[in-house]
Each structure stands twice: as C-alpha cells, then as structure tokens.
Amino acid sequence: MFRSISKSIMAKLLVQFFLVGIIPLIGMGTLTYYLSKDAIKSEVFQNITSINGIKKVQILEFLKDRMQNLTLLSRTQQIRNMINNKTYQEMSPIFEYYMQAFGYSDILLLNESGQIVYSATSNTEYAADSKTVPETGAALKGLWEKIVDSETPMMTDMLRYKTGAEPALFIGAPVYADTGELYAVLICQINAARVSALIVDAPSTGIPDAGGGAGKFKRDTYIVGPDSLLRTKSAHSGNDAVLKERVDPGIYNLALKQIGGTGKSMDASGESLLNAYSLVGLQKAMGTDFDWVIMTVVNENEAFALLHKLKINTFGGMVIFVLLVGIAGIFQSRMIARPINELSYRVVKLNDGDFTAEVPLTDPNRNDEIGMLLRTFNDGSKKFRHQMKSLLDSTNLLIESITRISTTASQLATSASETSSSISEVTTTVEEVKQTSQVATEKAEYVAQSADSTTRISHAGKQATENTMIGIDRIREEMNAIAESTVQLSAQTKSIEDIINTVSDIADQSNILSVNAAIEAAKAGEHGKGFSVVAQEVKSLANQSKEATNQVRGILSDIQKATSAAVMATERGTRSVAEAIELSEQAGNAIDRLSGRVTESAEAAMQITASNQQQLAGMDQLSQAMESINDATQQNLDGVKQLEDAIKNLEDMAQTLKIITATYKI
C-alpha cells in the first residue's frame, strides 16, 4: 500500500492535499475549541465570581445597615423612657414600624440581668422576676454577655434559639441609661428566610447577568457557616436546608485562607458543580467572632452546555470540511496527475525508442505549466521525430557514401597495383628506348652520309629541267603561229556570212516582189494571167535561192564552229605550254629546295646524333625517377590498404549507427 502511494503521483498529491487541508483544520478547530472552552470557563467563573461578590456586598451592607438602625434605635430617648417608665405598650407601634420597614422578625429587650422583658412580636411584657419570662436561649444569653462585656453592638450566627424555632440571627445593641450606665440590651431577630430572600431572589435584585450566553444557566447562591452548614436556603433544597445541609468543609477553610476563589465540588446527588466562594468579612466589618462564606454554584453540565454545543459544531464542521478538502483534493490531484501520468507513459515509450507517442490534449486551451509542458512535449517529440528521420536519412546516405568510398578505395588499390606494373613496364620501355636511341644514332649517321650523295644527284636534276624549259619555249612559239592563222580564217568566214546575208535579203525582196507582181497581175484580170505565171516562177526562184543561202549558212556555221574550236584548242595549247614552263620552273626550284633540305637533313642528322646522346643521359635519369616512383607507388599501395582498413571500420560504425537508429520508431 505504502509502496503504491510512493509510486503514484496522484496518491502522493492526495495525501499532501489531505495533510495540507486537514492538519490546519484540526489544529485550528482544536485550538479554537480549547480557547473557546477556556474563555467560556473563565467567563462562567467570572460570572459566578461577580455574582458572588455582589451578593457578598449586599449581605454585608444589609447586616451593617440593620446593625446601625438598631444602634440608632437603642440610643433614642424613647427607648430609655420606655425602660424607665416600663411603658412598653406605648412603644409597640414604633417597633411594628421598624419590623415592617427593616424586615425584623422580632425585637427583644433584655434587662441588665439578661432577661427578656419585652418581645415586640407577641407584644408581651415579662416581669423580671416572674416565671413567665421565657428562657433566654443559650445563644441570646451569649449575645447579651458579649454586648455587656464589650458595650458595642454585636451579632450572632444563624441559630435556632429554641428547638423547633425558625433559624434566625440576632443583632444586639446596648441601651444606656441617662446616667450613662448600661442597663438594657436591644436585640432584633432576622429570620434565615429574610436573608435567603436577599440572596436567592437574584432576578429581583436587578443584578444583570454577566455576559450574553453564559448567563443562561441556573445558578444558586447560599451562605455557609463555620460548621459547613447552610445559613440560607438553596434553590434546590428550600428553607429546610438551613442549618441542616452540609457542604464540603474544605471550601470554608479555603475561603478563610484566600478570602475568595473558585473551584469545583460535588453535590449530594453526585453532580459536578462549579463554585465561587468568598469570605463575607463579618469579623472585619461587624466585629463578630465568626465569619460566613458566601458561595455561588452552577451545575457544570448546564454551564458548559454551550461548550458541548461548540464541540459538536466544531468537530462536525471539521468533518464536513475534511470531506470537502478530500473531494477538492481528488479533483485537483487528478487534474495535475492525469496529464503527468500520460506524459510519463509517453516518456517511457520515448525511452524505448518510440517517437510516435504524442500526449492527447484533453483541454487544448490549458495555459498553465502542465498545458505548456504537454504542448511543448508534443512539439518537441515532433521536432525530435523530424530530426530522427533526417538522422536516419543521413545514416543511409552515409552508408551509401561509405560503400562508394569503399569501392573507390578498392579501385584505387587496383589502379595502384596497375600503376606499379605499368611502372615496371615503363622501366622496361625506358631500357628499350635507350637501345632504340642508340640505333637511332647509328641511323642518323647513315642519313648524313646519304644526304651528301642526294645533293649531288639533285644538281644533275636541275640541269635537266633547264634543258626541258628551252624545248618548251620553242613549242610555244609554234603554237602562237597556229593561233594567228586560225584568227585570220575566222575573219574570212565572217565576210562570207555577210555576203550570204545580202543574198538572203535579195531573195526575201524577190519574194515580196513576186507577191506584188501577183497582186498586180490579179488586178490586171485576164491580161495579167501570163504575168501571174511569171510571178509564180519568180517566187519559186526566190524560194530556191533562199534555201541555197540557208544551206550555205549552215555550212558556214559549221566552219565557224570548227575555227572557234581550233582557236580554243590553240589557246589551251598555249596555256598548257605556259603551265609546262611554270611546272619545269617549279621542278627546278623544287630540286633546289630539295638539295637545300638534304643539306639541312644532314645537319639535322648530326643534331639528332647529339640529341640522342642527351636522350640517353635523360633516359638514365628517367630510369632513376621511375625507381623512386615505384617506391612511392609501393607506399601508395600500403596507404590504400590502410585506407581500406579504415573504411572497413567506418562501415562497421555506420552499420552500428544504422542498427541504433533502426531501434527508433518514428
């Protein structure tokens, strides 16, 4: 379980959300609860303490007031007169008034011997010596004695002066005679119920509840005496409890020591009570030999009912908030965790070499960091894919290139070995060339010798051509003569043609003449018939002569053609002779040039011999150079082998690269 939490980011986020949500909530709730509890508690205690204090002041003021009143009454002339004259009955209305106004239950008058001489309630005079004088209780006796001793007003504790009597307290004041001696004691009785009413009837006293909410509980205030018995009635027990019910004696002792305080106690039924107690301070204020403790109690459960409600509200609210935080946490962590899960799934695939992975964008408009991350991842993976593809292409290209390089290298190796063998051949050839050049030297010497004889022969040739030229000149002269006679012949044929033309013209004119004659004959009619025949004959003669001239003209044109051909032939002959002269001149020149060339050849042959010597030296150098080239070629071969090894390594590397890139899916 823990492992799965540590694996899943969603679970982690959830736990964090819970922790972040719940810890402050619980802390705040608890803190608030306890602070509130303390506040409420202190308020409750403050409340009861203040009420306690108010009650204390009330009771103290009440008693002091009563004592002062009684003292004032005891000092009046009327009292002295009453005692002196024993006119108790006359005083009865005044006592009545006092009892009503100050809530006394009774007013008693005790004489100097401590006997009751008058009781206002029963309006009875008691003779000092008679037996009807009621027995003054031990308490009253005690009070009388104290007053007589101290000559100051005094108060007794709450007591029953006789069995069955209501519990009451008595305040006494000395009455002085006109002479100034103490001769009577005036005592008033205040019932416990009166005192109880002062304390218990809290709402009527006008004391406001301290605090809004905290005052809604029931409280109880009562006075406890030194014997830990109640001096006033309590809310739950009534008047019967006075001087009967006992409270925890520890509280009284505590109050004596600390004058005031708060605490917890248990009541008779076992319920837990909160109390505030304080010493009333009778000893101090009124000089009594006892003191009272005034206590205010509340039921703890009632007082803290609000606290209980607060607890329920606080923790109930806390549970609701925890649930809300949980739900919000689930939503939030899902929003964060889901894309990250997707992304991580893709990244794992990416690690396995699958670049086709793209995170599906559930919300394409998501603009926070996760949205940006997903989009950037998609863009990045697209880019990476693209780059991977180019890498693959490049790898393939690399492999191809390496294959080509490999081929080229092997070709290089082959060509290097070929070069090597070629060099051997060249070396051999150089040797051969050396031999050949030696042969060439010999041949060149031979050429120089033959050039000499050729020069001599060419001189003879030149002589012969000169003789030929003389003969041709003669032929040319003959040809010119032939040409001249042919031209003369042509001119003569021309004159013959002129004559023929004249004859032809005459024939034409004769023809027209014959026609005109025929016309004239026809016009002459019968007489012209014979002339018409003559005209016919003339016409036929004209026609015959025309035909003859035509024949002559044909022959003449043949002659003309022949003579033109002869002229042409002679011209050609003349031209051929001129060409022959030119040719023989050219032949002479050629022979001249030939002899010059032959001389040059002889010189060239000499030069060839010399250069052959140089060539032989050059061939030696060439042979040495070939040897160094051979060495270099050997090195070249070694280098090519190393190159092949290197290319092999390169090929292996390229294959490895291809295998690596092939693992990627794009």
Minimal distance, residue 564 CB to other proteins, in Å: 24
Secondary structure string (H, E, C) spanning 144-201: HHHHHHHCCCEECCCECCCCCCCCEEEEEEEEECCCCCEEEEEEEEEEHHHHHHHHHC
Which of 480, 509, 613, 642 contacts other proteins by CB under 8 A? 509
Q: Per CB under 8 A, does 533 bind other proteins?
A: no
Alpha helices in 247-304, H assignment, sequence order: 249-258, 282-286, 300-303
Residues 537-596 that bind other proteins (CB under 8 A): 539
Minimal distance, residue 511 CB to other proteins, in Å: 7
Minimal distance, residue 517 CB to other proteins, in Å: 9
CA nearest neighbour of 146 among 176, 174, 188: 174
DSSP characters for 482-529? Answer: HHHHHHHHHHHHHHHHHHHHHHHHHHHHHHHHHHHHHHHHHHHGGGGH
Q: Per CB under 8 A, does 522 bind other proteins?
A: yes
Minimal distance, residue 516 CB to other proteins, in Å: 5
Minimum CB distance to other proteins smaller for 409 or for 535: 535
CA nearest neighbour of 148 among 131, 163, 161, 136: 136
Minimum CB distance to other proteins smaller for 379 or for 537: 537
Stretch of 241-249, 296-304, 509-517, 628-636 contacting other proteins, by CB under 8 A: 509-517
Which of 312, 519, 617, 625 contacts other proteins by CB under 8 A? 519
Minimal distance, residue 509 CB to other proteins, in Å: 7
Q: Per CB under 8 A, does 527 bind other proteins?
A: no
Show Cβ contacts of residue 533 under 8 Å, excluding neighbours closer than 6 positions: none
Stretch of 392-400, 439-447, 517-525, 639-647 contacting other proteins, by CB under 8 A: 517-525
Minimum CB distance to other proteins smaller for 96 or for 508: 508
Cα distances (angstroms) measured from residue 571 to each of 22, 472, 567 = 144, 15, 6
Q: Which residue type sits at 13?
A: L
Cα distances (angstroms) measured from residue 167 to each of 75, 106, 283, 609 = 28, 13, 21, 181
Q: Per CB under 8 A, does 610 bind other proteins?
A: no
Minimal distance, residue 561 CB to other proteins, in Å: 24
Show Cβ contacts of residue 297 under 8 Å, excluding neighbours closer than 6 positions: 48, 219, 220, 221, 265, 267, 273, 274, 275, 276
Minimum CB distance to other proteins smaller for 129 or for 526: 526
Which of 508, 592, 644, 651 contacts other proteins by CB under 8 A? 508
Minimum CB distance to other proteins smaller for 424 or for 516: 516
Q: Per CB under 8 A, does 496 bind other proteins?
A: no
Q: Per CB under 8 A, does 99 bind other proteins?
A: no
Show Cβ contacts of residue 381 under 8 Å, excluding neighbours closer than 6 positions: 346, 350, 355, 357, 358
Tokens encoding 509 = 């004119």
First to last CA, the chain: 38
Stretch of 17-25, 167-175, 274-282, 515-523 contacting other proteins, by CB under 8 A: 515-523
Residue with tokens 């739900």: 327
Minimum CB distance to other proteins smaller for 519 or for 653: 519
Q: Per CB under 8 A, does 511 bind other proteins?
A: yes
Minimum CB distance to other proteins smaller for 449 or for 516: 516
Q: How many CA atoms lie within 13 A of 338 on its CB side?
A: 10
Minimal distance, residue 502 CB to other proteins, in Å: 14
Q: What's the chain's length in residues?
A: 666
Residue 44 CA to residue 661 CA, distance in Å, equals 83
Stretch of 245-253, 286-294, 473-481, 507-515 contacting other proteins, by CB under 8 A: 507-515
Stretch of 130-138, 445-453, 508-516, 567-575 contacting other proteins, by CB under 8 A: 508-516
Minimum CB distance to other proteins smaller for 240 or for 520: 520
Stretch of 10-18, 98-106, 504-512, 606-614 contacting other proteins, by CB under 8 A: 504-512
Minimal distance, residue 512 CB to other proteins, in Å: 5
Beta strands in 225-299 (DSSP E): 260-266, 272-279, 293-299
Q: Per CB under 8 A, does 346 bind other proteins?
A: no
Minimal distance, residue 535 CB to other proteins, in Å: 8
Minimal distance, residue 498 CB to other proteins, in Å: 17
Total residues contacting other proteins (rule CB under 8 A)? 12
Q: Per CB under 8 A, does 515 bind other proteins?
A: yes
Residue with tokens 């030999």: 289
Question: What is the layout of strands, in order, in the sheet containing 272-279?
Answer: 219-224, 293-299, 272-279, 260-266
Minimum CB distance to other proteins smaller for 6 or for 516: 516
Tokens encoding 27 = 């802390």
Q: Per CB under 8 A, does 268 bind other proteins?
A: no
Q: Per CB under 8 A, does 56 bind other proteins?
A: no
Q: Per CB under 8 A, does 523 bind other proteins?
A: yes
Tokens encoding 243 = 């001087």
CB 590, CB 461: distance < 8 Å: no
Minimal distance, residue 476 CB to other proteins, in Å: 44
- Radius of gyration of the CA atoms of the chain, in A: 88
Q: Per CB under 8 A, does 397 bind other proteins?
A: no
Minimal distance, residue 480 CB to other proteins, in Å: 39
- Torsion angles phi and psi, residue 130, rounded to 5: -65, 160
Show Cβ contacts of residue 504 under 8 Å, excluding neighbours closer than 6 positions: 546, 549, 550, 553
By CB under 8 A, name the binding residues for other proteins: 508-509, 511-512, 514-516, 518-519, 522-523, 539
